[in-house]
Structure 1
Amino acid sequence: MSSYKDKKVISIGTVNELTGLTLRQIRYYEERELIFPERTKRGTRKYSFADVELLMKIADKREEGVQTYEIKEDMLHENKERVIEHMLRGQLNAHFRLNK
């Protein structure tokens, strides 16, 4: 079961209010593939609380002068490390029969 933080239920207007980012900024970060909202059948973007947190981190980095391509590279690197960690943990669990 996924965490409430991962459920895509927040409208772009509410994200705007929560983060202080403009609608254009939010859409731009989507265009740059830094954030991935879901779309309803009518095309409305829906965000999660995790997306809101990520947008705040992106905004902080942008204020520090970090370019969007650098942010994307950092995110890809972080995700790669998490995937490797998850795989290693799974292999250790399988080998030593942990978590059973």
Structure 2
Amino acid sequence: MSQPDLSYKDKKVISIGTVSELTGLTLRQIRYYEERKLIAPYRNESGTRKYSFTDIETLMDIADKREDGVQTTEILKELRLKEKKRESEMDVKKKMLQGQLNAQFKQGRGRS
């Protein structure tokens, strides 16, 4: 299964070992955050985890919050709220674009 066209930050191409090196997190910590649903790596046909630069940023944010004593359940709530907000913003953008297209299409039809 291939990944859809994504920005370079969202392409899941980085191995867990490299993520560990970049973040300073242990493999166990990274897997634990996955178990807690804080991060969702891509898995290829053989089950190998692949991460994106966005995932690395999320992991660093999680690690900072954990150092400050924030529980994983609270971090998960925050991540879900951010995702809902992002989805809502995308819905608004889609509706605005559709409205612009509809207005343009109607305007163009009226000229004929």
- TM-score, with length taken from structure 2: 0.81
Change (3 A) 1:94 1:40: closer
Structure 1 residue 90 corresponds to structure 2 residue 105: no
Structure 1 residue 61 corresponds to structure 2 residue 43: no
Trace 1:3-14 onto structure 2 (pairs within 5 A): 3-14=7-18
Q: Provide structure 1 residue ranges, at least 5 long, that are not aligned to the other structure.
A: none
Separation in structure 1 between the aligned mates of residue 98 and residue 15 of structure 2, nearest angstrom? 41
Among 65, 79, 83, which residue is 1:79 paired with? 83
| RMSD of aligned residue pairs (Cα, Å) | 1.6
Separation in structure 2 between the aligned mates of residue 95 and residue 59 of structure 1, nearest angstrom? 42
Could you tell me how far 1:12 is from its partner in structure 2?
0.7
For residue 50 of structure 2, give the secondary structure of its aligned residue in structure 1. Answer: strand
Moved over 4 A (4+): none
- Residue 23 of structure 1: aligned partner: 27
Q: Provide structure 2 residue ranges, at least 5 long, that are not aligned to the other structure.
A: 105-112
Separation in structure 1 between the aligned mates of residue 91 and residue 70 of structure 2, nearest angstrom? 31
Structure 1 residue 38 corresponds to structure 2 residue 39: no
Change (3 A) 1:95 1:42: closer
The farther-off stretch of 86-95 and 2-11 is: 86-95
Change (3 A) 1:41 1:95: closer
Q: Higher Cα Rg: structure 1 or 2?
A: 2
- TM-score, with length taken from structure 1: 0.90
Separation in structure 2 between the aligned mates of residue 66 and residue 93 of structure 1, nearest angstrom? 39
Separation in structure 1 between the aligned mates of residue 58 and residue 66 of structure 2, nearest angstrom? 12
